[in-house]
A and B are shown apart, each in its own frame.
Chain A
Amino acid sequence: MDEQKAKVRTFLSKHLRNHELSDEDDIFGLGFVNSLFAMQLVMFVEQEFGITIDNEDLDIENFRTVNTIVKLVEKKAATLAEA
């Protein structure tokens, strides 16, 4: 999980210049998320962790913080493993 968090943090930090990002920081609240970045975030999560973000995963809560993103990744990975 720490490794996943580090990957997500590194990706987000590239876009949040001059901001020390904690795992609980609300990236939407920080005002850095535009539509291009929102799509890139989906692509990053899919590519990096080998999962597919589906229709029902489109919930801002899933993408709000490093912790919630990693939680989503783990949930999707677990579903994949069960399948």
Chain B
Amino acid sequence: MKIELTPKQRESRESFRAFAEREIAPHADQYDESEQIPSDLIEKLALQGYLGAVLPERNGGMGLDMITCGLLNEEVGRACSSVRSLLTVHGMVTLVLQRWGSAEQKETWLPQLASGARIAAFGLTEANVGSDAKSVETTATLSGNSYLLNGRKKWITFGQIADVFLIFAQSEGKPTAFLVERKTPGLVINPIRGMLGVRGSMLAELHLEDCCISRSNLVGQVNFGFSHVAATALDYGRYSVAWGCVGIGQACLEACLRYTNVRRQFGAFLREHQLIQQMLTEMITNVKAARLLCYQAGYLKDARDLRAITETSIAKYFASRMAFKAANDAVQIHGANGCSREYSVQRYLRDAKIMEIIEGSTQMQQINIARYACQEETSWQ
């Protein structure tokens, strides 16, 4: 066993970090405050190829292995969770099309999504449907060679700017996925503002009223929308979020190491106080542990190992809880400063809370991980 990045992976990480430090981190608090990501940053992400990170080179992507893809999500997430969430949802839809799209869908969409010419968003959640995703209320009715979609989608990340949506609806009572372009008549997009965290992720509510799409926009097959299409997307989403959480934890740690080296109380630097040392130690250990779980999940994904799905859930579960604790302690260490806009740790805390809710809440991960362990009782280790 050798847990070490290859020289190419190390080089990629340095390049991701340099980009994030230069183009994202200095502006992340502003994105949070203005609740938007500027289009020129998205163009820069596209130019780097990051929007096609998950796709093979034959589809116009970067062809990154899953570990390197994880490193990209960590470094972007360390700078700004909102920007990382663009990589997440765009990647989710892109991967779904590569995995379950028709030949025509692949030919039409993959090059455009890989290059960032078009932005994709994931439309599963509704006002009444979150964790119980199979029960979406949006309907799709086949009429001749078209589907008519009716319903409302809520909390759709980057819904404000996406060019195409992967929408989940019931077709004759069966969960099914469809591609819906922004320009489709009957699709109305309303921005959602004032969220607690990941405030730059440009959420939207989608109203679909007799939204007419071609039958060829069906993704996968009828009745496979949840079990295969959404499952493929969410598996990648959890992987991306898990790494993003490692990034949040790392950002918290670095902020605390900086602060405790300059802040003095009772005649000594904070770093010399043992109760501060305790929080730093917890943070250091937990960030490392979360990163190792992400490495494990990435390794299994690259190996196409059957355990990869659950190991990704475990990584997401641990990393999101870790990020929240690290951010909570980071604010505690920073005291009143940590509660002010002058320090980014307050943003990290608000963003980290969201991580425990999206792509399967902490409680859903607990249910799924325990079920899997019981199912695999004889081989679990």
Contacts and interface: CB of A to CB of B under 8 A. Distances in A.
A43 B228 contact: no
Interface of A: 14-15, 34-40, 42-44, 46-47, 55-56, 58-60
B66 to A, nearest CB: 14
Contacts of B308: 43
Interface in B79-104: 100-102
B304 A59 contact: no
* Size bracket of the B interface: 20 to 34
Contact of B235 (A34, A39, A58): A39
B226 A55 contact: no
B306 interface: yes
B221 A36 contact: no
A14 B307 CA distance: 14
11 contacts: A14-B376, A35-B228, A39-B235, A42-B228, A43-B308, A44-B306, A46-B304, A47-B306, A55-B101, A55-B220, A59-B221
Contacts of A38: 227-228, 231
A60 B223 contact: yes
B214 interface: no
Contacts of A56: 221
Contacts of A34: 371
A36 B309 contact: yes
Nearest to A43: B306
Classify the secondary structure of A's interface with B.
helix
A54 B308 CA distance: 20
Given A35-B226, A47-B304, A58 B100 contact: yes
Which of A15, A35, A56 has the most B CB atoms < 10 Å from its CB?
A35
B304 A39 contact: no
B231 A35 contact: yes
The 10 closest A-B CB pairs, nearest first, are A58-B221, A38-B227, A35-B227, A58-B224, A35-B231, A40-B306, A39-B231, A43-B306, A55-B100, A58-B220
B310 interface: yes
Given A36-B372, A38-B228, A39-B235, A55 B221 contact: yes
Which of A15, A43, A46 has the most B CB atoms < 10 Å from its CB?
A43
Contacts of A44: 306
B361 to A, nearest CB: 16
Given A43-B304, A55-B100, A36 B228 contact: no
A36 B310 contact: yes
B309 A40 contact: yes
B368 interface: yes
Contacts of A59: 221
A42 B308 CA distance: 13
A55 B306 contact: no
Nearest to B374: A17
Interface string B231-251: 110010000000000000000
A54 to B, nearest CB: 8
Nearest to B234: A35
B134 to A, nearest CB: 8
B375 A39 contact: no
B102 A55 contact: yes
Contacts of B100: 55, 58
Interface string B340-381: 000000000000000000000000000010011001101100
Which of A38, A44, A55 has the most B CB atoms < 10 Å from its CB?
A55
Which of B100, B228, B372 has the most A CB atoms < 10 Å from its CB?
B228
Given A36-B368, A36-B372, A39-B235, A58 B306 contact: no
Contacts of B379: 14
A43 to B, nearest CB: 5
Contacts of B372: 36
Given A36-B368, A36-B372, A59-B221, 18 more contacts: A14-B378, A14-B379, A15-B375, A36-B309, A38-B227, A38-B228, A39-B227, A39-B228, A39-B231, A39-B232, A40-B309, A43-B306, A55-B100, A55-B220, A55-B221, A58-B221, A58-B228, A60-B223
Which of B102, B223, B230, B375 has the most A CB atoms < 10 Å from its CB?
B375
A71 to B, nearest CB: 18
